[in-house]
Amino acid sequence: MSVSGRRGRRPAAVLACAALLLTGVLSGCSGSSSSGSSGPSGRAGASRPAGTPAPSATPDDAYRRWGLDKPLAAPPAPPAKKPVATAGPGGTPPIVRRIPTNDKVVFITIDDGAEKDPEFVKMAQDLKLPFSMFLTDDIARAGSGYGYFDRLRALGNGVHNHTLSHPNLRTLSADAQRREICGQQDALEKRFGTRPALFRPPYGNYNDATLTAAGGCGVRAVVLWEVTMQINDMRYQDGDKLRPGDIVLAHFRGPGELKGTSMTKMVTNMLRSIQRQGYTVARLEDYL
């Protein structure tokens, strides 16, 4: 995998911090170098906005803590030109199941928003795991509410639209679909200050009215998936292994829905499978 772009800037910073450590002066070495473990470790794929918290451990330690045998490889630099053309204002959004790329990357998407496991926030932070969230208002709002997703968003992960109440849109009138989709566009914009660019219809069910409604309220692309995360491994729509650019569907779920398995364990299983197949995880919004 090529070392370029954002990734290429890290070694200098690491060396600088290592030098400061040797002279007993440590300041300004945020995040991964704070315990003195140096080296070009960790993942550079997650661009963390300025001012967000540093990881709680060095990436070298972190991957082991979360059950991985090796760190996730840094993804290649994002493509200069995004390989999918999204809709212009008011245009009909394209349906995207997979990103056309030769990069050995896949994209993690996590839906609904039921489980709000604080351990997953730590995991996402430690591993700098990029993923995109598709939130349903009724489900995400329950319990401790959207605040949980603020924390994941602060790590650089995008929040997108998965309707107000998770209906099968194909059973609804055009007006009702518009209320479900545009209502959640408005709710998420009000809550997070950004109008989502991406929309995922519940169950992957949509029709022409869905696309018209979504395009009409600012959706730039409809995102489906090629691979589904199960509790222990992945299920493929096509074939029996990952392909470059696959979009992986997972859910915010906890032990009640995962036969006792925690969300973090499920994600570990997913990441181990991704690594075993020679892939790493990139950020969907960098390609779409």
Site residues, Zn ion (CB under 5 A): 111-112, 202
What single-letter DSSP state applies at residue 232? S
Burial class (CB in 10 A: 0-12, 13-18, 19+), 169: buried
Q: Which of 51/256 has CB closer to Zn ion?
A: 256
Our CB check for Zn ion shows the closer of 55 and 202 to be 202
Are 179 and 137 in contact by the 8 Å Cβ rule? The answer is no
Closest distance of CB 112 from Zn ion, Å: 5
The residue among 112 and 286 lying less far from Zn ion, judged by its C-beta, is 112
Nearer to Zn ion (CB atom), residue 112 or residue 246: 112
Question: Contacts by 250-253 with C-beta closer than 8 Å and gap 24+?
Answer: 250/108, 250/109, 250/110, 250/111, 250/131, 251/110, 251/111, 251/112, 251/114, 251/115, 252/110, 252/111, 252/112, 252/113, 252/114, 252/115, 252/116, 252/117, 252/120, 252/133, 253/114, 253/115
Least distance (Å) from Zn ion to the CB of residue 243?
Answer: 23
Provide the minimum distance between the beta carbon of 168 and Zn ion in the complex, in angstroms, as a whole number: 11
Which residue, 73 or 135, is less far from Zn ion as judged by CB?
135
Alpha helices per DSSP H over the chain: 10-22, 59-65, 118-127, 137-141, 147-153, 174-192, 208-216, 263-276
φ and ψ of 112, to 5 deg: 75, -70
* 104 versus 251: smaller Cβ distance to Zn ion: 251
Query: Least CB distance from residue 57 to Zn ion, whole Å?
Result: 32
Distance in Å, CB of 251 to Zn ion, minimum: 7
Q: What is the rounded CA–CA span in Å between residue 74 and residue 92? A: 34
Least Å distance, CB 40 to Zn ion, is 38
